[in-house]
Structure formats: C-alpha cells, structure tokens
Structure 1
Amino acid sequence: MENLLKKEQIGEKLGISLATVNNWIKTQVIPPPDVSDQYSQSAFASIINKIKDEPSRLNSRANRSLLEKKYICYLGITEKSRKLLLNNIVREFEMHELSLSDGVLALVLATLRTNKIIDNDWQVNKDTRLDSFLSAWIAESKNIDLVKALYSKFEITNKNDDILGAFYQSIQSISQKSTFGSYYTPSKLLKEINIPKDKTILDPCCGSGGILIGILTKEHDPSKIFARDVDELALKICFINLVLYFNDKNLSAHIIKQDIAFADSEDFHFASAGQKQEFDFIVTNPPWGSKWTKSQKECLLKLYPEIKTNEIYSIALYNAMTMLKSNGKLYYFLPHSFLNVAAHHNIRYCILNNDNKISIKLLGNVFKDVLSESILLHIEAGRKDNNIHIKDKDGNIYQLSKNDIISPDYIISANINDYDSILINKMYNTEHVDLKNNASFALGIVTGNNARYILQNSMKNSEPIFRGKDIQKYYYESPQCHIVFSPGCYQQIAPIEFYRQKKIAYRFISDTLICTLDCGNALLLNSANLFIPHNYPMESIVGLLNSDIYSFIYKKKFHSRKILKSHLQDLPLPILTAKEHKNIYAMYRKMILKEKNTQGFQENIDKIIRGYFSIDDEQYGYIKGELNGDTLTIKALRNG
C-alpha cells in the first residue's frame, strides 16, 4: 500500500501552520484528506504544486515563505561600480547549474585569489587553518572544475563591504530568507557601536558576519571574537570575511554552528550545545518571525517557561542576557512591536527587572522587505538606572521612567517624550473608566478565499460587506464588496449576532483611530473589526475615538499599525455627566446628517474632552501639531 503523508506535512513543506492547512481544507482551497488525516503521495504532490502555482497565495504576506522570487541584495554596497560587479557575479552564477554552496565557494576562491590571500595555483592542503577550511569545502563540491573556473576573470577586491554575504542573499529566494528570518543589517546602523580591542564579543546570530566587520577594528584580538548561527553556509562566509578583514590565514576567531533557541536542548540535532561562556559585548540582529514546526513550538514553550513564547527574537534576547558579563553591554536590533505588543510582556518584564541601564534608539523602517519599524535595544548590565533613555529618529533624546511601566503588559512607550508624558499622565491620572471587561470585541470575517466569496457587484441574495478602508470617521464609504452570506464556509467568523446588532466598527490596519457607529447590522471583512460597549454610550465613544486627542494617545503610547483589542481596552474614557453625553450625541447626529461645518462639531466634542482632562489651548495645539507634523509648533512647545 502507498505510504500516506499527514496533513501536518503540508504545513511543514510550505512553511505554514496546521491551522492554515485546516482552513484551506474548510474553505475548499485544497481537498480533504484521503484517509483520516492523511494524503496519498500523488494527492500530496498535487496540493504542493497547486499552492505554489497560485500567485495570489504566493504573494500573500502571511505566506511569504512560499515566494521563490529573488532580488539583488546590496547589503549597504553603495558604489555604482561595486553594484555592477555584484550584478554581473549573480548573472554569471545563474547561467550555470551550481548549488548555493558551490556558487559561494567559487566566489570565495576568486576573492581570496584577487586579494592574494591564496595563490592562483593554490592546491588542496592543510598548511593553515584557511587551507584546511577550503580543502574540506572543496571536498564537498560535486563540480569542482567549474567552481574553480567560474569567476577566474573577475577582480573582486576586498572593501570589507560583505560582498560575499550580498551574493549569498541575492541568490537565495525570499522563501529561504523568511524561513530563517534572515534579513541582514545595513552598515549605517552600526556606526554608534564601538567595541574595545581587548574585549570579548559574541554575535549569536552572525549570518555572514556583516555586523562583526562593521563594528570591529583591525587592532581587535581575533581570539576574542565569537560567532554563531544555524546557517552553515553563512558561517563559512563569516569565516572568510574575517580572514579577509584581518588578513590572517590562521584566524583564531571562534565560529561554530549553534542555535540561539535550542542551544541547551538535545532534542534537536542542529543544536550544538557547548559550555556556557560570558561575554563583554553581545551584538546581533536576531531572526524575526522564523518558522517552527509544531513540535519545535511545543519544545520552546517547555524550554522557556519564564517568557512563555516561541518568538525567536524574544528567546534570543533572553538567552543573551544569561551570557552577558556582570558589566557587559548588549546591542539588539528588534522590531518596534517588541516594546508594546502584549505577547512580549514576559521578556519585557525580564529586562526591566534587573539592575541594568536600558537605552532605545528608534530606527523607523530601515530593513528591506520588512514592513515593521525597528529599534536598537542597548543594555548595560550592572548599571542601575531608573530611567529608559530614548533617542528618536530626529536625534531628540528623552527619558521614560521605569516606574511608569507597569503590569500586566509592561508596555514601553518609547515614543513618549517629556512633554508627551505630561499630557498622557494628566489624562490617565484623571478619574476614568475603560473598556476592559466592559465591552465585547469581535473580528471581521476571514473568508479564506476572497476570490471565491467576495463579489465586486451586488447580485441576488448578496449584501454589502465592509473592509477597513471603507470605514471613515462617522460613516461607511459606499460598499465596494458584496457577499452571499454563508457563515459555515468561512475560515474564521465571530458569532453572527455580533454583526447583526448596533456596534462600533473600526479599522484594524491603521496608524490612527478611525471608527463609525453601525446601526445597519452590516457584515465586516477581516481588515475591519468591531466592539460593543456595555455601559457607555456608543455615540460618545465614537466621538471620543475619532478625536485628535485619542489618536494622540494611541500614536504615542502604542505606535502601532494594528489597532488591537488591548489598545482600545486601555484608553481612558472620561466619566461624563448625562448632559455632556447628550451634547456629544447632538454633535454626533449633526455630523452623520452631514450638516455644515462638521469639523466644528468635532471641535465641540474635543472641547468636552479637553475640559474633563484639563487640556489647555497650548496643549491642544501641541496635540494637533504632533498629528499633523507641525514641527515648528512642536519644537517651540517642547523647548518652552
């Protein structure tokens, strides 16, 4: 009988979760299993080919691990001639059927010959560490003659710009890079990191060594350099980069294969456990969102009960803290969401609950093909400091008191400067209520197959379904999408009664609060979410959330492109009189009826909010200036 393959193996093959596989079965994207939860080999192969051949799924952000696209990755190479050289090198590789390893080896040999590290007639031998290293690598090659000849006509001078790593990145598909979360660090981000030549340094997720050659000096003692990664080919490039950097064929740097997450586990063969060491400096850009199998996720939750996560960068940070000397320094590049997403509250608690000085530099969008903003986290062990020191993208420096970072989520609001803090604290320190345990929340419908279920025009038995972009302040745009509602067919749907009642609908993907009151029992697509407050007038909440004041709170405290349930639950709602609620209701009615001067009606609502929280004209002007980018007003008030 033909060997059967479990449906879990579809997820492992494509780099997606079992939940996604189940949803694809439910929504008929793929057929149900042949026997129990198993597929025949032919059915399995057909499914894999079908998914890879569907452009809409291959280009999905959620399934970017399926992408086979490639692009030239310059890794900070700026010279036009150098870029042209890299393009020519990549083009030459693509003209031959060589493996990734053989392609990199060919470039390594050409680079070493160009820079006279090895002779043109170099032969396999074991005279030096480099010679032994190359000999072992060549022994793995299945086409050594082509490897040696491939780049023989190229001149690849060493400029310490990681052209080897750039080549390796450029010949990998996006799927290979996203599987390991491997997006490399621009050299311009490393300028402020200085490593004394007599100090030990570890990069536990070193890749091709770009960070190391960006922060070391040639006076540094190579024996004090430690580099680790799970990518064996990247580690080989790292070794060659350091040989080139120090011009040392007997390089004494310590470069080993080791997984930052599973380093102490014997359950995974790729984990190379070693004696735990401590380091003066730990600097890295850990993987973000790399993929794990179900068994690996379960193992991670058992290995790290203190932080209760399988997010790789949180684990990498947690492990690094245990390897840092008592007076050591750590630099980690992380997504901005590390600071304010509730799922990371345990690792935030860990770094806050130590006698360390914490500094954060806000970097913005600096990594190619990474949509989230980034930060550089700097921790100085053993330096007790009750403030977090923050530097924004404009070079402004301010402090955030650790006392203001409280349970349960330990949110680090790094976008709040000293003047912002005055305003935010004023509102949160005024008596208020919130939506926590005081509202029901629900998500928009995830069909699992919009091409099949979402209609561009209305038809018999269809009805409008509203997307996030259809939601404006106080109203819906004319519907662009329709659906024949069949709740049992969709991937994810809230209880139907949530949609079929009066509710507040809001944009889920947004950097500002935008909501409307829905009295028409409308359906929402997954880019729009909803909530139903229990003991607070809905018209008042819509008036509050659509105000500049609440967008200011959201922008400063959470700085997120996704409006989460936890964000809305945290917002301070004023305890208003019945008359004040009635006045807001009157303004709301005038706005939805589109009477003249709707902005004036919102300002009247803002006036009620300002009165309750004691926000004066100057502070209100500052809030509006922050949202509108009025830098002159902002600077004047900050300095005043």
Structure 2
Amino acid sequence: MGKKDLDNETISISKASEILGISEATVKNWVKLGKLSCISRRPYVFLRADIMRLHKTLDTSEYLKSRRNKTRNSENYIPKSYIDSNSPNYPIIKALIVELTGKHINIRDIIHAYARSFCKSKDIPAGVIDSLLGKAQRALPVTLLDKYPLSYIEGEDTLGMLYISLRRLQEKKSTGSYYTPFYVVDKIVDEAFPKDLPSDMKLMDPACGTGNFLLRLPKGLLPKNVYGSDIDPEAVAIARINLVLKYNIRTASNLDTIKSHILLQDFLKNNSGDHFDLMIGNPPWGFVYSKNEQKVLKELFVSYTGDKNPESFSLFIEKSLESLADNGVMSFLLPESILDVRLHTAIRSLMLGKAQVLSIHYLGEVFDKVQCPCVILTLKKTSKKAKDYKTAVSFSKSRKSEIITKKSFTADSGHLASSSFQLICDDTEYALLKKIESAPHFTLEGNADFALGIVTGSNKTLLSDTALAGYEPVITGKELTKYSLFPARKYLRFTPENFQQCAPERFYRAKEKLFYRFIADEPVIAIDEEGLVSLNSANIIIPHMSGYNARYIMAILNSSVMSFYYRHRFRNMKVLRSALEMLPIAKCSEADQKRLSELTMQPDPAEIDKIVASLYDITDEELALLLRFKVL
C-alpha cells in the first residue's frame, strides 16, 4: 500500500481511539466540538491521515495534559515516595534527572554504571553485573558519577528509583505499572509474613518490576526460595542485580539461581506448575490487551467476563490463587474498586470460593500523581469452602512516608458477598444497618426516573456568568444543599444539539423533582419545583412511588439515619444511581408522611431525624450512637 493509499485509508472509531490514546466518548466529543473531522457518524468513520495528523499534534499539545490524560504525557518525573525522601540518594537522583533530561544517554548504560559502583562497594565482582546487563554500550563520563554519587543502602531500590524516574509516564501507563511506595511495601510484607518464618517458605512476586518488594523481604528468607517475574527486560535485570546486592551473591551457582528464579516472562502465561507459600506484590492495573490476547485470556480465565478489555489485576489474582499451595497466603496492593465495582463481581466470587479473606486494609491514595484509593487485600487459599471466620479490617492514612491506622476491627466473614467486599463497619454498626434494612420499606429501583445533568463538553464557551438573552439559570453541585438550592451562579442556552450529553428535556422541566449532588459521600437532596436544568454535578430523581411524595422521600434521604446507612454501606465519593436505588426508604402512615413533608418546608434536621428514626424502630440511644459513628 503506497503513501497515497494510506492517506485515504478509513478507520473505525475504536481504531481512532486506540491511536489517539483517548476514549471513544472523547473522540465523539471532539467531533462534535469540531476538533476532529470524520467522514461519517453512523457509524463513525475517519480518514487515517486525519487521525495520524492529530496524533502527531497531540504529542506537543498542552490540551490532553490539561485534562489529566497521563497516557500521552511524556514528561519525566520523580515518584516522591518510592524511596524514603530522607535518603541521601533522593536529592542526588532528582538532580541527576534534571541533568539528563533532553540528553540522549542510554538508560541501561546509566543503570550499568551505578550497579557496578554498588557492587564495587560490596566487593562483588564486576563480571556479575556484566553477566546480568551485558556490556555497556558507552561508559558514562567519570565526571557525571563524581558529580552525582549514589550510595548503596540496604533495602532501598535506588536503581529502581533511578530507572522509573527516567522512564516516561506514557510507558508506565500503557503497561499498567504503578510503582509502590516503600512504606506500603513494608506494610504488605508485614501483613503477609508469619511471625515465625519457616526456612523453606517459597515466595513469588508475579509482577516484580525492579524488585522493590523482594529487596524488603525478611532476612531469614533464603534466595533459593525467592521468585519473581515481569515483562519488562530492564526491570528484570535490575531486580536480579538488587538480589545480588541483597544476598551478596558472588558464585556462579548462586547467580544462576537468581537468573532462573527472577524471570522475564508473562506470569499469566506461566505453566510451570510451581506452587508457592506466599504471593505478594502490586499486580498491574489497567493493562491494555490486544484483541488477540483478549481471545486467549477469555479461554483461560473464568474471572474474565464480558467483551471489553479484561482488568489485569483480576487476572493476576486468579492466576495467583492457582499458583498458591493449599493454605498459602496472597497479599496484593489493589485499587479499592475491586471491593464493590460490578465489573469485578466474577473475581470476588472466585475469591470467596477458593480462599478466606484474612484482611482488608484501606489505605486511601498512596501513589504519586495517581488519584486512586487503594487497599491491601490478603487472602488465604483453602480447599474447603471458607465460612465462619473473622476478617481483619483497618483504615489508614499516609503521612510523611508512614501509614497511620485510624480505625480497626474484625468483621464476620458472612458480611462478604460477591456483590461487595466492602467491610466498612464493625459488628455494632452492622447490626444497626440490618435493623434499618428490616423495617418495612420500599426502594427507588423501578419507582423513580433518574436523569443525568447536562455535560456541555465546553463549559468555557457554553456557560455564562450573567443572564444573557435566551439563557436560563443552570444548577450545579455547588448550589445544591440538603433540602434547598442556592441561586444559580451560571447560565446557559438550552440547546441539546450542542451538548456532549443531555437527558430528554421532560426530565429537566418536571415540576416536582429532586436534585442530588453527584460528588458527595452521602445523599444531598434538594427539591426543585420550577423546572430548572442542571449540569451533571447535580443529577435528577423523579419519584413515582404510589402513595409517597417527593418531599417525604427527600426527608428520608437527607436524614442522619440514611446518612449513616449510606456511609456504612457504600464507600465512594460519587453518589451513583445504583446506590440510591438500593436505599431502604421506610413505609409510613399518612400522618407521618404529612408531618415530615411539612418539616422540609423550613427544615428542622433534629426533628426530622427523630421522626425518621422512629420509622426504622431506632431508639433514642441508638440514634445518639449512630450520630457519633464516623467512617474514614
């Protein structure tokens, strides 16, 4: 195919999305906003030449960077917590990265030079490094090593820190790699290892990267029992060097052990049949598999359901459970979404069938420049169906390279289900939840219409700070409080054809509807009787439960009883329709409904709480108790 043929080749929206490194929804939005041209919209068809031209432009554009799109962001960066910021090596690596930015120096040559320096400091023969990395293409200038002298520090992945600081964010995102802060590694190791360490215990890190987990293993674990794998050849080479330094490897036989145990391979395709007593680590998140790889994985993994790209960490959990010996333990750092997002139902079901959930440790956000709450999930493989045991639960915050536990308790394993692994309340709180659920009630599922607020696609151009001719007030989450709305601060012309997303107009114009704040950790509900429109930070509920009006439902959803229920049942800073549809809304007498509805006119939260509590048979003592309970 010649260049002219290539220029005229047409491609689908999925291929355009793949080339540009953005979602199909973003591709459609860019077409609507005129940022991208297409041949057809039904279906979407593009000229390859147009897509490739935009692809080249984006590499130097600030547009995607401003949208927090790290897939294409190619800046070097320093992972702040990968090693201790108090380490003498930390400021040196920062300065070295600045020195090397923009210069064409082979990364392996840099690693080679510092690895040789570390080995020399420990009297390990230089030939050991050459056998692992090969000969350097070009020796670094001596002046560079003298100017930026790094020291070997036991347990610190200095070489790994240097390596990942040189790699581009684009590379790390595409492979699903997020490198784990050292203090989180220590927490996982501490939770996974028994206090009395058996000398013959075999351990595996299935996505070992540069070996930061392996470096911080207990000293009693012998090198012959340490295993790891990764698909990154540079990372595997560094992991091997790190173990050479950790265990002072000097002989050829011991070096061969390291080489044969730390392998350049895809763990998911490993059919060795080895079984391990411990599996620890941070498996890849969000790895993008090709269509052919997806077909193969579909046949191999029962946790891969649906037709979209599989979640890599789910596959690693399934393969790790298969690779564990009976009664073996697996402790992984995972996104908190694994606990209750519907997409991960299949892997939760698999875990319940094959293992006990020993502990769930909520960590919050621990990665530099990545906004994703994390958990340490620790499982024990068992050949018998796991039941009637306690799961340890803890909530922590990271502060200055330290994990500080704020709350901990044990919960009955019966609280776990394939629908959700969230264990965010202790037994006393759980009893209150069950009491609330036991009251006669209905839910909004099937008894209300839900609609999303408007997504303009371009707030800068479509919203106004003043009421221009033809514009109307638009409600956002900022104007939405419990029971009432502040005056709108933005205005727009209601032109659905110009919006990226818009519900049918009848939902906005409904004369009695409820707005709910999308970004919140509990229901925040206000009534609208004026037919106002809203942005998607303020979404819509239109109840149609026979015998119950919108004001009554608002009173229940805004009450402290329902706040307690929501906060201890769901753990999400986004209020989702699926959660709202599950909330148990108490049935009541006509008199109670009338009283609560009247109280919402000039809200008296304390009086509303008292009446709502009585509907759920909550005593005054229990109401005082639930008002004190906090979720971290």
What TM-score does the superposition give when structure 2 sets the normalisation length?
0.86
Distance 1:453 1:498 in 2: 21
Q: Distance in 2 between matches of 1:354 and 1:558?
A: 25
- Structure 1 CA distance, aligned partners of 2:372 and 2:202? 32
Could you tell me how far 1:405 is from its partner in structure 2?
A: 3.6
Q: Deviations over 1:235-289 (max 9, x none)?
A: 22211111111121443131223335xx34xxxxxxxx44232211100112233
Measure, in 1, the Cα distance between the counterparts of 2:215 and 2:199: 13
Q: 1:519 to 1:293 in 2, by over 3 A?
A: farther
Q: Which amino acid aligns with 2:335?
A: P
Indicate whether 1:529 and 2:523 are aligned: no
Q: In 1, are the aligned partners of 2:109 and 2:139 still within 8 Å (CA)?
A: no
Alpha-carbon offset, residue 581 of structure 1: 1.0
Alpha carbons 2:412, 2:427 under 8 Å: kept: no
Per-residue CA deviations over 1:435-469 (Å, capped at 9, x if unaligned) read 12222222222233333323333322222222223
Match of 2:166 in 1: 171
Alpha-carbon deviation of 1:412? 2.3
Structure 1 pair 318–80 and aligned structure 2 pair: CA distance change class (3 A): closer
- Residue 430 of structure 1 pairs with residue 430 of structure 2: no
Aligned partner (choices 489, 493, 497) of residue 484 of structure 1: 493
Alignment of 1:375-394 (within 5 A): 375-382=375-382, 384-393=386-395, 394=405
Against the structure 1 CA distance between its residues 347 and 99, is the aligned structure 2 distance closer, same or farther, given a 3 Å change threshold? same
Matches within 5 A, 1:357-506: 357-382=357-382, 384-393=386-395, 394=405, 396-406=407-417, 410-501=419-510, 502-506=512-516
- Among 82, 92, 104, the alignment partner of 1:97 is 104
Structure 2: gaps spanning 5 or more residues? 396-404
Q: What are the superposed Cα offsets for residues 68-98 of structure 1, whole Å, 9 maximum, x if unpaired?
A: 3433224132325332222233233226322
Check conservation: 1:466, 1:524, Cα contact below 8 A: yes
Equivalent-residue separation in structure 2 for 1:293 and 1:17 (angstroms): 16
Q: State the match for 1:39 in structure 2.
A: 47
- Ranges in structure 1 where 5+ consecutive residues have no aligned partner: 120-126, 265-272, 592-600, 630-640
TM superposition shift of 1:411: 1.4
Work out the CA distance in 2 between the residues paired with 1:197 and 1:89.
41
Secondary structure at the counterpart of residue 215 of structure 1:
coil
The answer to which of 513-522 and 106-115 deviates more is: 106-115
Aligned to 2:558: 546
Q: Which amino acid aligns with 1:167?
A: L
The count of aligned residue pairs is: 592
Deviates more, 1:457-466 or 1:539-548: 457-466
**Which residues of 2 match residues 102-501 of structure 1 at below 5 A?**
102-119=109-126, 130-135=129-134, 138=136, 141=137, 144-146=138-140, 150-151=144-145, 154-159=148-153, 160-189=155-184, 190-191=186-187, 192=190, 193-194=192-193, 196-217=198-219, 219-249=220-250, 250-251=254-255, 252-253=257-258, 254-260=261-267, 263-264=268-269, 273-292=270-289, 300-301=297-298, 303-308=300-305, 310-354=310-354, 356-382=356-382, 384-393=386-395, 394=405, 396-406=407-417, 410-501=419-510
- Take 2:40 and 2:615, find their aligned partners in 1: how far apart are those partners? 64
Change over 3 Å in CA distance of 1:302–1:564 after alignment to 2: farther
Deviates more, 1:28-37 or 1:609-618: 28-37
Contact 2:452 2:539 in 1 (8 A): yes
Gap change, CA 1:523 and 1:56, over 3 Å in 2:
farther
Counterpart contact for 1:29–1:449, Cα < 8 Å: no
Contact 2:559 2:612 survives alignment (8 Å): no
Q: Within the alignment, does 1:55 sit opposite 2:67 as a pair?
A: no
The 1-side partners of 2:60 and 2:458 are apart by 15
Q: Distance in 2 between matches of 1:469 and 1:257?
A: 51
Which of 67, 72, 80 does residue 66 from structure 1 map onto? Answer: 72
Q: Does 1:23 align with 2:65?
A: no
Contact map agreement 2:481 2:525 (CA 8 A) in 1: yes
1:485 is displaced (CA, Å) by 2.1
Aligned residues of 1:363 and 1:376 also touching (Cα < 8 A): yes
Give the counterpart letter for 1:537 in structure 2: N
1-structure distance, mates of 2:355, 2:241: 38
Query: What's the CA shift string for 1:504-529, capped at 9, x where partnerless?
Result: 21111212221211222222222222
1:361-396, Cα deviation, whole Å (9 max, x unpaired)? 222333322323221111112274423412323365
**CA offsets 1:471-493 (integer angstroms, 9 cap, x no match):** 21122233232222221233222
Q: 1:85 to 1:297 in 2, by over 3 A?
A: same
Q: Which residue of 2 aligns with 1:585?
A: 597
Question: Could you tell me whether the CA contact under 8 Å between 2:302 and 2:346 is conserved in 1?
Answer: no
Is 1:609 matched up with 2:612?
yes
- Among residues 615, 629, 632, which one is paired with 1:626 in the alignment? 629
The AA in structure 1 aligned to 2:132 is: F
Q: What is the CA–CA distance in structure 1 between the aligned matches of 2:326 and 2:573, rounded to whole Å?
A: 37
Could you tell me which amino acid in structure 2 is paired with residue 587 of structure 1? L
2:409 maps to amino acid: Y
Query: Which amino acid counterpart does residue 152 of structure 2 have in structure 1?
Result: N
**Which residues of 2 match residues 4-19 of structure 1 at below 5 A?**
4=7, 6=11, 7-19=13-25
Residue 636 of structure 1 aligns with which residue?
A: none
Structure 1 residues 494 and 300, CA gap change in structure 2 (3 angstroms):
farther
Amino acid of the residue matched to residue 71 of structure 2? Answer: S
Report how far residue 161 of structure 1 moved: 0.9
Structure 2: which amino acid aligns with 1:212?
Answer: L
> After superposition, what is the alpha-carbon deviation per residue over 1:300-358, rounded to whole angstroms, capped at 9, x for unaligned?
55653444262222222122111111121100111222212222222111111235353
Moved more, 464-473 or 28-37: 28-37
Answer whether contact 1:73 1:167 (CA < 8 A) is retained.
no
Q: Structure 1 564/327 Cα, relative in aligned 2: closer, same or farther at 3 Å?
A: same
Aligned twin of 1:638: none
Identity %: 28
Q: Distance in 2 between matches of 1:102 and 1:622?
A: 62
How far 1:162 moved relative to its partner?
A: 0.6
Output the CA distance in 2 between the equivalents of 1:148 and 1:257.
Answer: 31
Would the alpha carbon gap of residues 3 and 416 (structure 1) be closer, same or farther in structure 2, given more than 3 Å must change? same
What amino acid is aligned across from residue 168 of structure 1 in structure 2? Answer: Y
Aligned AA (1:134): L
Q: 1:175 is paired with a residue of what secondary structure?
A: helix
Distance in 2, Cα, partners of 1:106 & 1:92: 16
Matched residues in 2 for 1:546 and 1:395: separation?
27
Local SS of the residue matching 2:409: strand
Deviation at 1:427, TM superposition (A): 0.6
**SS across alignment from 1:199:** coil
